[in-house]
Amino acid sequence: MKASARMGVAVAGLAVVGGGVLAVPRLLDDGGKAAEQRLQGGPAPAVSATSPAPAGPGQGQGPFTLVATGDIIPYPSIVQRSADDAGKAGEYDFRKILAGVKPLVSAADLAMCHHEIPYGRPGGPYTGYPTFKAPHQLADALKDAGYDSCSTASNHTLDDGYEGLARTLEHLDRVGVGHVGSARSAEEARAPALVSAGGAKVAQLSYTYGTNGIPLPQDKPWAVNLIDKDRVIADARAARAAGANVVTVSVHWGTEWQTAPDEQQRELAQALTASRGADGLPDIDLILGTHNHVPQPYEKINGTWVVFGMGDQVASFVPADKLRGNQSSIPRFTFAPAAAHKGRWEVVKAEFLTQYSDMGPPFRVVCASCAASDGSLPAAKRSEYARIDEQVSAAVLSRGAAAQGLEHATR
């Protein structure tokens, strides 16, 4: 579905210039050659400065599905699992870990991840809490799973300093996965990940509440996007003015281990969804929350869907009081052209699935709502997944989303 439904992925930059908006291509589809040469220390090849023209009326416009997943946090045990799966000294393979959700991700017209941690230097060392560093082969697995773009603004973005931040973005560039939320230049910091689906241009923005006390580089204050209501709205309007038909905002926020959204989340969600442009239409079409470790509710606020927290997609919590940290939800929204507003798309179907980091062995990420009815699995395993599905669903629906039209999907 993805190959035929998308118009081809292009990651573009938008910079505000003199009160206007100038489209500046950041990385077009060059197969990752530019990033590969930078990683090898060579000059980057020239990249075309021509962005794809927006689709006009009747030019392939139609519904598209957007799937998102929560925080990817490869703890040391997960890194070891990827090494075992690779089966070769010094190699790491995360593809088997994500294989259980690949069918959902790859089937979506547009798939977004949350890339919480930086990559360490090739060969390591790779570390866990409190300062994470993961193998860069994770980027290859994200591409293999079908992700189009990832938010990268989090409290762990600077765990390996600016060098780790830049290394992470270079490897995402190398495999052709878009990214937003951290940056190697001021221009890149203001640029959404811009992708095409169903004839629509979709912009993804990303911000975090902080960086765990690690200061932003003095000469690079733009390295990580921090939450600022006015900045978020301004960036959304800039993206819209530059041609985005749909604007999504990924926000790293809230209180860890708390199912209910906290005051900051509620107030910011209210303000962002209430923001309207000169045409009276919303500046932001979808808010996707991360950081809390546990699934949080979905809620339609001012007519816009807010996912307060998806929970961790890849995690390996062992203590009994933290096992909820291995549970998460997968929002899936279907957008279609808005009949009443030319050039705008709107959510016509809202769904969620449930997900589980199954400790195994072997460790694997599983679609719990899918597996709960999989007759090929042992009854005990189906029962376990059904219990996870029930628990995640209770959190997702805890603020009345079912009455607002949110559906529980099982495939």
pLDDT tens, 316-343?
999 989 999 999 999 999 999 999 999 9
pLDDT band at 50 (very low <50, low <70, confident <90, very high): very low
Q: What is the pLDDT of residues 57-69, one digit of tens each?
A: 334 588 999 999 9
Segment holding 65, helix H or strand E: strand 64-72
Q: Quick one: which of 61, 63, 57, 65 has its CA closest to 336?
A: 63
Looking at the DSSP bridge assignments, the partners of residue 208 are: 226, 252
Pair of tokens at residue 105: 């991700």
pLDDT higher than threshold 50 for residue 10: no
**Contacts for 227-233: CB closer than 8 Å, 24+ residues apart:** 227/251, 227/252, 227/253, 227/268, 229/268, 229/271, 229/272, 231/207, 232/205, 232/207, 232/272, 232/284, 233/272, 233/275, 233/283, 233/284
Q: What is the pLDDT of residues 146-200, one digit of tens each?
A: 999 999 999 999 999 999 999 999 999 999 999 999 999 999 998 999 999 999 9
Residue 326 near residue 337, CB atoms below 8 Å: no
Please give the domain boundaries of the chain with CATH numbers for all domains: 2-39+56-408 (3.60.21.10)
pLDDT band at 234 (very low <50, low <70, confident <90, very high): very high
Q: Region 381-401: what's the mean pLDDT?
A: 98
The whole-number pLDDT of residue 403 equals 98
Backbone dihedral angles phi then psi of residue 334, each to the nearest 5 degrees:
-100, 120
Q: What is the pLDDT of residues 116-145, one digit of tens each?
A: 999 999 999 999 999 999 999 999 999 999
Residue 364 or 27, more confident: 364
Q: Region 354-362: what's the mean pLDDT?
A: 96
Put simply, whether the predicted model's pTM sits higher than 0.85 gets the answer yes
Q: Quick one: which of 292, 285, 321 has its CA closest to 309?
A: 292
DSSP assignment letter at 320? G
pLDDT higher than threshold 70 for residue 41: no
Report percent pLDDT > 70 for the chain.
85
The whole-number pLDDT of residue 61 equals 83
Pair of tokens at residue 144: 């293999």
DSSP 358-406: E--SSPEEEEHHHHTT-TTS-HHHHHHHHHHHHHHHHHHTTTSTTTTTE
Instruction: Please tell me the distance from the alpha carbon of residue 368 to that of residue 311, in angstroms, as a whole number.
Output: 14
- How high does pLDDT run on average in the chain? 88
pLDDT higher than threshold 90 for residue 16: no
The separation between CA 138 and the C-alpha centre of its own chain, rounded to angstroms, equals 14
The whole-number pLDDT of residue 276 equals 97
Instruction: Please tell me the distance from the alpha carbon of residue 101 to that of residue 96, in angstroms, as a whole number.
Output: 10
Residue 294 or 26, more confident: 294
pLDDT higher than threshold 70 for residue 8: no
Report percent pLDDT > 90 for the chain.
84
Instruction: Please tell me the distance from the alpha carbon of residue 8 to that of residue 143, in angstroms, as a whole number.
Output: 14
Looking at the DSSP bridge assignments, the partners of residue 180 are: 151
Instruction: Please tell me the distance from the alpha carbon of residue 185 to that of residue 217, in angstroms, as a whole number.
Output: 12
Amino acid (one-letter) located at 200: A
Q: Region 348-377: what's the mean pLDDT?
A: 96
pLDDT band at 34 (very low <50, low <70, confident <90, very high): very low
